[in-house]
């Protein structure tokens, strides 16, 4: 059933940081412009920056939103003046959290709000735990309306830390109050996996081990580590991309049909997939690190030469895994997860290769070697999908050729909403369908923590290539 949005205070911790500037604040403005922000909703920016007040925060936010959205300057300025407020505080200070509680109550009285509060943690992962603990001990986990907590990835860095963070969050908030964001799940093309599979008999009827040869999930980036070396050196590609983004795509691709289109039913089926994956063997893991090379004709430095990276770093910037989903539907079908930085192209896609017909009637004819049908679901860029078919070339001679059928989201629907637009709208509506449950985070870390604990050879690859030469 459709969810209903109610006016609320959106309190953003880290409101002057990069994530808030690039994603959260622009998305909230876009939600307003789409008429989807509940009337009366206000945004309280929270940060440690001294000397800032409501007016200076509005200017700060205005410039950030203007740089990342299409809003007109006058309209945007009016929106900032009406909706944005600021609270400077030290998140390690109990008295500052008491001051925050009083400010929230003052704003709710002044704006005639019902007491609904959304706390968004746009802060570094190291601050998740202390902030959640302070919200709980100060009583801000309860209000006269609803209270919701949004937590960015990464949700822990291994199984033990994920269990600890889950326990802390669930100590102060119910699971139905916690929204763990994976922005890949906010992409329209990712959500369409459910419609694609369960709304089309053509595909669901062949979505199994009898008809499918292999499944590949690829998230390739042209960018290097950029200014994230401090984080990336401790994370690497497996923690940064595989444990969350690629695993979510795997779960949606391999899940059984849920009993209803409801958050609990969908997330239950995703967890079943993760729990059915066999332990990952050492020879099914390939890791690499980019060397010097060229991206779009321009020279780029090796990972170890990037600013903030140790000159002898062993951090992986490329990972390929072969996984086995030991379920009735998928037994014997390999799933390949592949991601890397400084690769040849920026692309995110799911490639499903079907089995060739068991018998070919075209063997007596030259140029009639059968090729498998392939379905490519492209998540970014150029969102859409392609299906390859075998067709006969015109003429007297029997000759087969592969041709592609295309569907483009841009051609059919125009521009698509940003992932954060979708996810923040869903938080306000109380819809957890596109958010990661505690069970999902733990099942994922149980799978990958043994891989992280093993020592792996790091294979070099040239920037601008598709990864190490050993990649399949």
The CATH number assigned to the domain holding 281 equals 3.30.360.10
Per the domain annotation, does 472 fall within a domain? no
Closest CA to 324 of 334, 338, 310, 312: 334
> Using an 8 Å Cβ cutoff, are 443 and 187 in contact?
no
SS3 assignment, position 173:
coil
Q: Are residues 226 and 341 in the same domain?
A: yes
SS3 assignment, position 465:
strand
Of 98, 131, 152, which residue constitutes the final position of a domain? 152
Alpha carbons 52 and 46: distance in angstroms, whole number: 10
Alpha carbons 319 and 468: distance in angstroms, whole number: 10
Alpha carbons 217 and 377: distance in angstroms, whole number: 10
Q: Record the tokens describing residue 194, joined without a space.
A: 């459910």
Tokens 């909403």 correspond to 417
Give the pTM: 0.88
Adjacent-strand bridge partners of 295: 298
Per the domain annotation, does 2 fall within a domain? no
Q: Are residues 200 and 91 in the same domain?
A: no
Contacts of 255-258 with CB under 8 Å at 24 or more apart are 256/329, 257/197, 257/198, 257/204
Which amino acids are annotated catalytic?
A: 245
Q: Are residues 253 and 302 in the same domain?
A: yes
CATH number for the domain harbouring residue 34: 3.40.50.720
Q: Are residues 144 and 199 in the same domain?
A: no
Closest CA to 449 of 290, 264, 243: 243
Q: Are residues 222 and 321 in the same domain?
A: yes
Per-residue pLDDT, 195: 84
Helices of type H across 430-462:
438-453
Adjacent-strand bridge partners of 377: 350, 385
Per the domain annotation, does 333 fall within a domain? yes
Of 101, 127, 152, which residue constitutes the final position of a domain? 152
Per-residue pLDDT, 413: 86
Q: Are residues 191 and 130 in the same domain?
A: no
Per-residue pLDDT, 419: 84
Per-residue pLDDT, 1: 42
Alpha carbons 244 and 251: distance in angstroms, whole number: 10
Q: Are residues 128 and 225 in the same domain?
A: no
Alpha carbons 123 and 179: distance in angstroms, whole number: 15
> Using an 8 Å Cβ cutoff, are 170 and 178 in contact?
yes
Q: Are residues 140 and 206 in the same domain?
A: no
Q: Which residues contact 421 (CB under 8 A, 6 or more apart)?
A: 27, 30, 31, 34, 186
Alpha carbons 128 and 123: distance in angstroms, whole number: 7
Per-residue pLDDT, 375: 94
Closest CA to 322 of 214, 419, 237: 214
Closest CA to 236 of 159, 297, 289, 170: 289
Per the domain annotation, does 426 fall within a domain? no
Per the domain annotation, does 178 fall within a domain? no
Q: The dihedral of CA 252, 253, 257, 260: what is its sign?
A: positive
Q: Are residues 197 and 315 in the same domain?
A: yes
Q: Are residues 138 and 201 in the same domain?
A: no
Contacts of 51-56 with CB under 8 Å at 24 or more apart are 52/16, 52/86, 52/88, 53/86, 54/84, 54/85, 54/86, 56/86
pLDDT < 50 positions in the chain: 1-2
Alpha carbons 202 and 354: distance in angstroms, whole number: 13
Per the domain annotation, does 174 fall within a domain? no
Q: The dihedral of CA 103, 109, 111, 115: what is its sign?
A: positive
Kindly report the three-state secondary structure assignment for every residue of 303-360. HHHCCCCCCCCCCCCEEEEEEEECCCCCCCCEEEEEEECCECCCEEEEEEEECCCCCC
Per-residue pLDDT, 363: 63
Number of Cβ within 10 Å of residue 440's Cβ equals: 23
DSSP state, 459? E
Q: Are residues 139 and 225 in the same domain?
A: no
> Using an 8 Å Cβ cutoff, are 116 and 144 in contact?
no
Task: Work out how many domains the chain is built from and give that number.
Answer: 2
> Using an 8 Å Cβ cutoff, are 291 and 302 in contact?
yes
DSSP codes joined into one string, 94-125: HHHHHHHHHHHHHHHHHHT--S-EEEEE-S-G
Q: Are residues 312 and 444 in the same domain?
A: yes
Q: Nearest 5°: CA angle at 398, between 392 and 399? A: 55
Of 132, 152, 172, which residue constitutes the final position of a domain? 152
Q: Which domain holds residue 279?
A: 185-416+436-463
Alpha carbons 164 and 317: distance in angstroms, whole number: 27
E strand or H helix at 371: none
> Using an 8 Å Cβ cutoff, are 331 and 209 in contact?
yes
Per-residue pLDDT, 190: 80
Number of Cβ within 10 Å of residue 395's Cβ equals: 7
How are strands ordered across the β-sheet holding 84-88? 84-88, 42-47, 9-13, 117-121, 147-151, 178-180
Alpha carbons 215 and 354: distance in angstroms, whole number: 9
> Using an 8 Å Cβ cutoff, are 14 and 150 in contact?
no
């Amino acid at each position: 059933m459709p969810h209903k949005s109610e006016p609320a205070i959106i309190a953003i911790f880290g409101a002057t940081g990069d994530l808030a500037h690039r994603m959260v604040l622009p998305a909230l403005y876009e939600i307003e412009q789409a008429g989807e922000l509940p009337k009366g909703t206000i945004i309280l920016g929270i940060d440690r920056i001294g000397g800032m007040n409501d007016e200076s925060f509005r200017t700060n936010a205005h410039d950030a939103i203007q740089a990342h959205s299409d809003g007109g300057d006058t309209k945007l300025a009016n929106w900032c003046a009406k909706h944005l407020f600021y609270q400077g505080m030290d998140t390690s200070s109990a008295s500052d959290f008491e001051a925050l509680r009083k400010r929230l109550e003052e704003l709710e009285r002044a704006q005639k709000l019902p007491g609904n509060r959304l706390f968004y943690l746009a802060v570094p992962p190291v601050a998740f735990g202390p902030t959640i603990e302070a919200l709980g001990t100060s009583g801000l986990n309860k209000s006269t309306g609803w209270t919701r907590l949004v937590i960015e990835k990464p949700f822990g860095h291994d199984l033990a830390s994920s269990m600890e963070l889950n326990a802390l969050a669930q100590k102060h908030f119910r699971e139905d109050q916690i929204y763990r964001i994976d922005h890949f799940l906010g992409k329209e093309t990712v959500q369409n996996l459910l419609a694609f599979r369960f709304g089309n008999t053509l595909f669901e009827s062949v979505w199994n081990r009898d008809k499918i040869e292999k499944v590949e999930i690829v998230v390739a980036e042209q960018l290097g580590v950029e200014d994230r070396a401090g984080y990336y050196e401790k994370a690497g590609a497996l923690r940064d991309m595989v444990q969350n983004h690629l695993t979510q795509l795997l779960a949606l691709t391999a899940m059984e049909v849920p009993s209803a289109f409801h958050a609990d039913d969908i997330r239950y089926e995703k967890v079943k997939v993760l729990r059915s994956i066999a332990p990952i063997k050492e020879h099914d893991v390939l890791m690499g690190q980019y060397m010097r090379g060229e991206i779009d004709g321009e020279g780029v430095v090796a990972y170890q030469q990037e600013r903030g990276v140790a000159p002898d770093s062993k951090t992986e910037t490329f990972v390929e895994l072969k996984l086995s989903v030991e379920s009735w539907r998928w037994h014997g079908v390999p799933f390949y997860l592949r991601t890397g930085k400084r690769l040849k192209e920026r692309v995110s896609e799911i490639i499903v290769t079907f089995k060739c017909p068991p018998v070919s009637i075209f063997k007596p004819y030259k140029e009639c070697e059968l090729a498998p049908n392939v379905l490519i679901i492209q998540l970014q860029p150029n969102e859409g999908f392609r299906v390859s078919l075998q067709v006969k070339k015109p003429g007297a001679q029997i000759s087969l050729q592969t041709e592609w059928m295309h569907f483009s989201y841009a051609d059919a629907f125009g521009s698509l909403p940003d992932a954060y637009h979708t996810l923040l709208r869903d938080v306000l509506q109380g819809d957890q369908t596109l958010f990661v449950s505690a069970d999902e985070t733990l099942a994922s870390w149980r799978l990958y923590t043994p891989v992280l604990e093993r020592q792996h050879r790091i294979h070099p690859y040239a920037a601008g290539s598709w990864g190490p030469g050993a990649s399949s």
